[in-house]
Chains A and B, each alone.
Chain A
Amino acid sequence: MNFQEILEKIKTKHEVLESKEDLGVLNAYIATAKIAAVAAFMKDELKFEQLNFITAVDFPANNAIEVVYHFFSYETADSVVLRIKLDRAKAEVPTISGVFKTADWHEREASEMFGIKFSGHPDLNRLLLPDGIESPLRKDYKNPDMTPLPKA
């Protein structure tokens, strides 16, 4: 399937806000509240069984954090990226850990790294970071301990 076909298929059931092609891979923007339903649709109907990863990209210029869901289908070897645009100040998105178990840890990681709240997540505890470090992967993160390496 090329990206156009996949896009058409998603569009039959769910609304796609915006879409683009990036090196042959479909990037579809989904409404925030819809993500769990779309993920379930991807898994059950379109046979995208594998969720490769969930992460986020911070765009302070647009005041947006984009959550990226990367799917892969073992049958057709196609990839699809679903994206959600979030407000940087109020980043909250429903969890899809009920659909994909692998989302559990990936959401925890994205949550602590970007300060995104995944509402409905069963165990949104810290995964990798110790207490006291808040969303280090945001572009405006400043840590007083973070000094540049000494010049040799």
Chain B
Amino acid sequence: MALLKELLYNSGKPLSEFSSWMHAIWAGWGMPGFLLDFIFQLVIVLAVTAVLVLNALWIIYYDRKISALMQIRKGPNRVGPFGLLQTLADTVKLLIKEDVNPKKIDILSFWIAPLIIFIPTFAVFLVLPFGNGLVPADLNIGILYIIAITGLSVIGILAAGWGSNNKYSLIGGMRSAAQIVSYEIPMVLVILAVVLMSGTMKMSGIVAAQSNRVWFVVPQFLGFIIFLIAGNAEVNRAPFDLPEAESELVAGFNTEYSAMKFAFFYLAEYTNLFLTSAVAATLFLGGWQGPFLPPIVWFFIKTYFVITILCWIRWTFPRIRVDQLMEFSWKYLLPLALLNLVVTAVILKF
């Protein structure tokens, strides 16, 4: 019991103890240590991926239920209790469907695009602190790593747009590239302000910096808002869902995708939503910290709080136009983010 409590509340210590204990046994068998590390990492990656896929399915359900609540209807309620298995059924259906390859596609980019989007999305989670010491890999430059890896997904979207050999897809891909690039900058500037305040790029360090003082959402409120807007734009959700604007571009870059490849896009999209919310929770809402409940529960509560806000926004607002999207980023968000950074730096200095 005590061990379980320790594991829940202060995961780092028992895990490292377990690791060194295993290392001792491993060395007793005369095996090289790096092999065990490799196995450990494999297990961690698989565990994180499994959790994230299940979580993405749950988020889809959650999003649909929230939308149903706002649209005075009931939402999925047929498959399983309260329709909980609906998204699972959808995914299974997508996975076993016929894989359609349209004529004249660029086969390489068409096939590789879902993977390029799917893999980095999951890779990012390696540096997220789910709980106290519960970090798959606590890099020193964790936040930089997140920014770098999330930037990769734009390649996947471009590849999807180009490879589909469809004008709607191409426009969607182009829009997406422009959108992600221009919203990345205010986002990075906001993160920079947070880094300035915490004095570290390590994710666990940023969480720790919020433990003795207030959460960064208070001093960085403007930053939090900018981060939410930019993050919402990065995950291509309404009102920034231009790349897949249904009424204009049919389905944008995934017009031609079906079956398993579409499922990859879909899962990646919702995992991205979770990622953005998780990063927002970590940077601004104090990460896993909180009273009474175990840290991992707090982490999820905060993340879902942000997800709920994003869902609320999504199901309320109409879509923004492409030139206004750019204008909004460069004319409003970027100066505000810069101002935020400068003011933060000045205040910290004096």
Q: Do chains A and B touch in the complex (CB under 8 A)?
A: no
Binding site for A on B (CB under 8 A): none
